Amino acid sequence: MSAATPTCQLLERQNADYRGWLWVAPPRDPWLEEDSGQLWSADLGVCEAWRGRGMNVYCSLEPTIGDMPGAVLFWPKAHALGEWWLLALCAQLPEGTRLQVVGENQGGIKHVLKVLAALGLGCRKLDSARRCTLFETRLGRVDLAADAAWSTFEALDLQLASHPGVFGHGKLDDGTRLLLELLPETPGRASQRVLDVGCGDGIIAAWLARRGDDVTALDINAFAVEATRRTLALNGLSGAVQHSDVYSALAEGQRFDAIISNPPFHQERAIDYGPVARLIGEAPARLVKGGSLTLVANAFLPYPDRLQAAFGGFEILADDRRFRVYRAVKH
């Protein structure tokens, strides 16, 4: 099957035998998923698609990877995340392993030249087309550990763990702040079973756990899952954190008193309503009677129709022209 994404179209035209190579942080593309190679990705959706075709998948941040002919890294929009992948590959694969790095020019692929030079790794340009560029280098031993990418910051009297590529990296998102301002912190209130979908750096999960709720947090991104675990630990709080494609990791019949979310709507630079459609559409099945879904979203996003269809009604708790906070109740 032919490649569908520009980066894969550039790779497809190479006179190269990629059989057995490691594909690192790739997009969904039918050309890749027919290959015999292996995958390393933090995106559970991509991992499950590859697993469904019987292919070898590494979905954790610290896998054990054996020798292989080479690896292809798809350079992400967040350059610091690309640097993490480079450092992690240097730690995981033998010195001298071939590495190709591909990305869109608009996404800043040429920044990789500076990163590789800073790491003492040589580089050559192989090709450019479809507004993308392909470079090649060989992995070597570097003194900097990938774990150095982690950082912490403070928000709402909580310590938050942060990693490049995780939503809200290094700062509290204004929409999340508006959402949390509307949630009560009533002393002596009964604990609720609350689900945080798209937990990011863990600010919502930690805030809910601090007020005494029994928290379960989900995210499709392995970096976000680890960030939330670290955030809870930094604040001496507890909660269940799972790598999940929306509700996929939950047990059948598992229900909650409330679902709280600042859901994502971007896949790189493209708007993707798929996760939010599932978040809203399947929410009633994940709530007890009288349970509620509360979410914050950019004001321009067309969520009212989805909420109306799923719940039969909703209310707008806040609207500051940039963000709206919606609440819908299961009757």
| In the chain, ranges of CATH 3.40.50.150 domains | 6-146, 150-329
Main-chain dihedrals φ then ψ at residue 197, nearest 5 degrees: -100, 125
Burial of 75 (0-12, 13-18, 19+ CB in 10 A): buried
CATH superfamily label, 150-329: Vaccinia Virus protein VP39 (3.40.50.150)
Least confident of 134-143, 268-277, 289-298: 268-277
Q: Read off the pLDDT of each residue in 6-33 and give the average, rounded to a whole number.
A: 93
Residue 171 has pLDDT above 90, yes or no: yes
Could you tell me the CA-to-CA distances from 177 to 171, 182, 223 in Å, in that order?
11, 9, 21
What b-and-e string marks burial along 198-237, b requiring 16 or more CB atoms within 10 Å of the CB?
bbbbbbbbbbbbbbebbbbbbbbbbbbbbbbbbbbeebeb
Q: Which residue has better confidence, 265 or 115?
A: 115
Provide the phi-psi class of 25: left if phi over 0, else alpha when psi is between -120 and 50, else beta.
Answer: left
Percentage of the chain with pLDDT > 70? 96
Each residue's pLDDT tens digit, 67-81: 899 999 999 989 999
Please check whether residue 100 is in contact with residue 70, taking contact to mean a CB–CB distance below 8 angstroms: yes
Q: Read off the pLDDT of each residue in 138-155 and give the average, rounded to a whole number.
A: 93
**Rounded distance between C-alpha atoms, residue 328 and residue 192, angstroms:** 17
Could you tell me the CA-to-CA distances from 63 to 40, 133, 144, 305 in Å, in that order?
9, 28, 18, 42
Predicted pLDDT of residue 302: 86
Q: Read off the pLDDT of each residue in 95-123 and give the average, rounded to a whole number.
A: 94
How crowded is the C-beta side of 99, counted as CA atoms within 13 Å? 26
Q: Which residue has better confidence, 34 or 49?
A: 49
pTM of the model: 0.93
Predicted pLDDT of residue 272: 60
Residue 267 has pLDDT above 60, yes or no: no
Q: At what angle do helices 203-210 and 174-181 cross, to 10 degrees?
A: 20
Q: Read off the pLDDT of each residue in 201-225 and give the average, rounded to a whole number.
A: 97
The arrangement of secondary structure in 6-146, i.e. its CATH architecture, is: 3-Layer(aba) Sandwich (3.40)
